[in-house]
Amino acid sequence: MASSIHHHYYYHPLLLHSSTKLCSPKSLYFDKFSNSHLRNSLTFSTHVPKMPLTVALALTQSDSQRSFNSDPQALLQELANNLDLPPDYFATLPNDLRLDLNDAAFDLSNGPVIDECGQELGETLLNLARAWESADSLTSSSLAKKLPSLETSLTEGAKSALGKRLQSAGRRFQSMGQYGQGELDRIAKSMISAGKLLSETAMPTSTEERSKDETRTFKFGELQVELTPEKANVGAVIAVGFAILSWQVSQGIQSTPENSLQYANENAMMLAKSLRVFLLVIFYSSTLLSGFASIGLALLSRQLKSKGE
């Protein structure tokens, strides 16, 4: 009994020593895990300061892009660069795209372009439109390079007019779709972007400029007349005078008896009667139309005067 007890207590230290050996790898593994976790924590902390630098670079690029998009001169320079095409580019376009190019030229130079945009810019736009109509890429490129330098000298009304014309012409280029290496699409995007920015930033600064922008213009062929109450009244007076004159002529023809003239033969008499009826219809119609024109011009004068007030 004593022996067994002795052996029991004899082996107990060994068991304790063995258990100490078994626990030692766990403690080593825990130490390695703690060191690895500490190194990872230090590594993560060293990468943290790099994040604000990346954000700062992104914000700087965003601000520079925003400032570029808000500069009309820079957008016009981009448009000039996109219009810097090979000399025969427009000439080699298909017929349907040439028609769209002519439509863009019309939208760019339609109406009183010199009155709206000024002498220098108006003539530049007219020449640019002629270059597009004649498919002259070289002249188009040289004229487009003038646009950025002209932007700084424009009035607010001229900027607004230029913006509307660029947007309208840009939509024509946009309708051409993708062609070649995407030159037409780039022209359309830069033209519309510049036009929108000019239209948004340009606001009339005085009542005089606003009234000038709202002035109506009558166009008949190459003739352009600015409509004012005074000119409408003058037109109404002229129409009344012409109506009186036409009425008197028609009455003179009608009062002439048919038997007062002698005719060589019956055919001549029939021709004279037909001519008499024709002249009566012409002068009576002229009297009626002149009367309507005088009434319309008088009403237009009153309308323009009320808007001016």
56 in any annotated domain: no
Same domain for 92 and 38, yes or no, is no
Same domain for 211 and 234, yes or no, is no
Say how far apart CA 255 and CA 261 lie, in whole Å: 13
Output the pLDDT for position 202: 57
Tens digits of residue pLDDT in 58-96: 444 444 444 445 677 888 888 888 888 888 889 999 999
pLDDT surpassing 60 at residue 283: yes
Output the pLDDT for position 9: 43
pLDDT surpassing 50 at residue 208: no
Enclosing domain of residue 278: 227-308
Q: 305 vs 43, which has greater pLDDT?
A: 305
Degrees (nearest 5) of the Cα angle 154, 157, 161?
95
Same domain for 171 and 238, yes or no, is no
In percent, how much of the chain has pLDDT > 70?
A: 68
Handedness of CA 149, 155, 161, 167 (dihedral sign): positive
Q: Where is the domain boundary, 165, 185, 216? A: 216
Same domain for 233 and 302, yes or no, is yes
Three-state SS string across 2-70, please? Answer: HHHHHHHHHHHHHHHHHHHHHHHHHHHHHHHHHHHHHHHHHHHHHHCCHHHHHHHHHHHHHHHHHHHHC
Same domain for 153 and 202, yes or no, is yes
Most confident of 15-29, 60-74, 194-208, 270-284: 270-284
Same domain for 138 and 170, yes or no, is yes
Output the pLDDT for position 248: 92
Same domain for 31 and 78, yes or no, is no
* 103 and 165 Cβ atoms separated by less than 8 Å: no
Same domain for 196 and 79, yes or no, is yes
221 in any annotated domain: no
